[in-house]
Structure 1
Amino acid sequence: MKRAAKTNPRYTALVSMLKEASRVNESGVWREIAKRLETPSKNFAEVNLSKISRYAREGETVIVPGKVLGSGILESGIAIAALNFSDSAASKIKDANGTCMTIEDLVKNNPEGKKVRILR
């Protein structure tokens, strides 16, 4: 059985960018995110704000290799990077003085991948 390739050009470009960042900066976190994004999209993470609030501390950066959903309350300012955000999640994050960013932006701002927590 032949394995289907990704058809979304954003995902293929992101995976290759993450692998390149992993090689150049010798950072294992980008390799791990690339590995998770190479799986079928039905296996992508869907994380609620309640889980992010439980496991992340204020001032920390969280990366979600999938979508952030708006169920729950976010009480502190956390920087969250993900493939997609639901509308309610984005508004709740901004109301809590947090930041929403794409994974591409996080790689540009933090190429070494220091102090990044992966949530699934």
Structure 2
Amino acid sequence: MQTTKRTGPTNIIVRKTIRALKSAANRNNAPIWKYVAELIDRPRRLRVEVNLSKINRYTQSGDVVVVPGKVLGAGSIDHPVTVAALGFSRQAVEKIRAAGGKAVHILQLIEENPRGSRVKIII
């Protein structure tokens, strides 16, 4: 009987993001980044895909949100928020910017907010 070895993500950007999240968690004593890294380290078929309507429902103006997966453009958003994710659909980026918000990669958010203070995770 042969056992298969778990290999983890093969996408180099995803691997770099996971390493950066774990490093930021240890360096800044910020457990939120470790949790986000664990969510991203799952198999791709189990990663989250969040619609803008869900982000709109659970956020208020000026919130900072992390999506450990992809943001899709279904629904609308009516207030400015900063959304950090692994990926965005083109329509999602257009709608976020039209509402006055920002769409950034998770690595950029780690640089702006290394302690992860006042960040919401939407899964």
Tell me which interval the TM-score lies in, with the shorter structure as reference length.
Answer: over 0.9
- For 1:86, the equivalent position in structure 2 comes to 89
Identity of aligned residues (%): 39
Deviation of the 1:5 alpha carbon: 2.9
Matches within 5 A, 1:46-61: 46-61=49-64
The letter of the residue matching 2:29 is E
- Distance of 1:60 and 1:68 partners within structure 2: 16
- Distance of 2:15 and 2:102 partners within structure 1: 25
SS in 1 for 2:80: coil
Deviation of the 1:12 alpha carbon: 1.0
SS in 2 for 1:73: coil
Unmatched 5+ stretches in structure 1:
none
Unmatched 5+ stretches in structure 2:
none
Deviation of the 1:53 alpha carbon: 0.3
- Deviating beyond 6 angstroms after TM superposition, the runs of 4 or more aligned structure 1 residues are none
Deviation of the 1:108 alpha carbon: 0.2
Which of these two proteins has the greater Rg computed from alpha carbons? Answer: 2
CA RMSD, 1 decimal: 0.7
Tell me whether 1:70 sits opposite 2:64 in the alignment. Answer: no
- For 1:43, the equivalent position in structure 2 comes to 46
Instruction: Indicate if the aligned counterparts of 2:8 and 2:42 stay in contact, CA closer than 8 A.
Output: no
- For 2:26, the equivalent position in structure 1 comes to 23
Aligned length: 120
